[in-house]
Chain A
């Protein structure tokens, strides 16, 4: 093992080691007192840095900020689209916090007759719209289905990491978490019913997130119903 590799391993210990790394480091520490000394030194430094901690800000900080804010317009101008995203994100977060988010997530293959659960189970759904997702690290397809009881979105993706999907439409929002986290090949499919979403000629926006970063978007169209 080179010096750089030894050093990388010691730093990795501070960052959390994987099991094989832990075994490698244990062997190194037993075999080489210099590595032991180096590791102790860096660990000590890391602990001292952590121990610096945070000091309390002066009490006047908050008041001075709020005083200065009085000269700023009450409602900052905002982009409409951005505000809409915000409203929906806040709604999702709030609902999740309160434990009252209502969504139906169905594991398994694409909707088809009785394979679909919840309110979609009674009727064979028909495809309303479908888009290919192929930007960023997520590829696949999103499909909007409809049956007598309502709408549903099916998402089939392939990605190297688990993907969360945020689905928003007309003030409603739904979230699929960790899509693909249990599929070995990185392929995953889920369908989520959209209770309350009607066919009114509106767009249904899908945001694909990896680690809370939006990595891709897609839009489905729900035409005005008969």
Chain B
């Protein structure tokens, strides 16, 4: 059976069909959780943000403009919630050595682990604005067009931010000898 597309599911949601929203949750829980996780580097905070993002999406479906992609709108909510969570966070000073160490692969070698941790550390040293574009581009694999839509920015700005972010990441990684 063909998967229902997002507009059809949202329409059913708005008619009060909770099953349709469940389908959207199943479809997008992974990227939304990962956006929050990489923005916050805290599993529990990411869970909270993901839940809140879906709830807000459900409550504000009336405000969603169908001219935009549903997932861009949803990611925008998740990013905004992540930024709110970051703003409310007490300064942590040094990077938390026990911060989320999430990895998709089952077997990473020690060197790979070190590099991954160095990259995760460097990501958290970026400003939230720069981290946002890196997360959307490299973690969720969104196109520049989708990122621009999600953030409400021109594509040119997205690229420019991404370039700055990569250069800063490279500088951080050089400083800590990871590259």
Q: Residues on A close to B: CB < 8 A?
A: 7-8, 11, 14-15, 41-42, 44-46, 48-50, 52-58, 61-62, 64-66, 68-69, 72, 74-79, 82-83, 85-87, 89-90, 92-94, 97-98, 207, 209, 211-214
Please provide the chain B residues from 1 to 25 with a CB less than 8 Å away from any CB of chain A in the complex. 2, 4-8, 10-11, 14-16, 18, 21-22, 25
Q: Is the CB of A69 within 8 A of B21?
A: yes
- Can you name 13 A-B pairs with beta carbons within 8 Å? A14-B166, A41-B179, A50-B141, A53-B105, A57-B30, A61-B50, A72-B58, A74-B16, A76-B58, A78-B14, A85-B65, A90-B8, A90-B66
Q: Is the CB of A76 within 8 A of B14?
A: yes
Task: Apart from A55-B37, A93-B8, A209-B67, list 6 A-B contacts with CB within 8 A.
Answer: A41-B170, A62-B25, A65-B50, A66-B25, A211-B145, A213-B149
Q: Is the CB of A65 within 8 A of B54?
A: yes
Bound complex: CA of A68 vs CA of B21, how far in Å?
Answer: 13
A83's closest neighbor in chain B, by CB? B14
Q: Residues on B close to A: CB < 8 A?
A: 2, 4-8, 10-11, 14-16, 18, 21-22, 25-26, 29-31, 33-34, 37-38, 43, 47, 50-51, 54-55, 58-69, 102-105, 115-116, 119-120, 134, 138-141, 144-145, 149, 159, 162-163, 166-167, 169-170, 173, 179
A80's closest neighbor in chain B, by CB? B62
B36's closest neighbor in chain A, by CB? A57
Answer whether A68 and B5 are a contact pair too, CB < 8 Å, given A42-B166, A82-B62, A86-B14.
Answer: no
A78's closest neighbor in chain B, by CB? B62
Bound complex: CA of A41 vs CA of B174, how far in Å?
Answer: 10
Q: Is the CB of A75 within 8 A of B66?
A: no
A6: shortest Cβ distance to chain B, in Å? Answer: 12
Bound complex: CA of A83 vs CA of B18, how far in Å?
Answer: 17
Bound complex: CA of A61 vs CA of B167, how far in Å?
Answer: 35
A101: shortest Cβ distance to chain B, in Å? Answer: 13
Answer whether A74 and B170 are a contact pair too, CB < 8 Å, given A68-B51, A86-B7, A93-B7.
Answer: no
Q: Is the CB of A55 within 8 A of B21?
A: no
Q: Which of B5, B29, B55, B103 contacts A72 (CB 8 A)?
A: B55
9 smallest CB-CB distances across A and B, nearest first, come from: A78-B62, A89-B66, A49-B138, A57-B33, A53-B104, A75-B16, A90-B7, A90-B11, A214-B67
B22 cross-chain contacts in A, Cβ below 8 A: 62, 66
Q: Is the CB of A49 within 8 A of B163?
A: no
A46: shortest Cβ distance to chain B, in Å? Answer: 7
B21 cross-chain contacts in A, Cβ below 8 A: 69
B152: shortest Cβ distance to chain A, in Å? Answer: 11
B47: shortest Cβ distance to chain A, in Å? Answer: 6
A196: shortest Cβ distance to chain B, in Å? Answer: 20
A164: shortest Cβ distance to chain B, in Å? Answer: 10
A190: shortest Cβ distance to chain B, in Å? Answer: 20
Q: Is the CB of A212 within 8 A of B173?
A: no
Bound complex: CA of A173 vs CA of B144, how far in Å?
Answer: 29
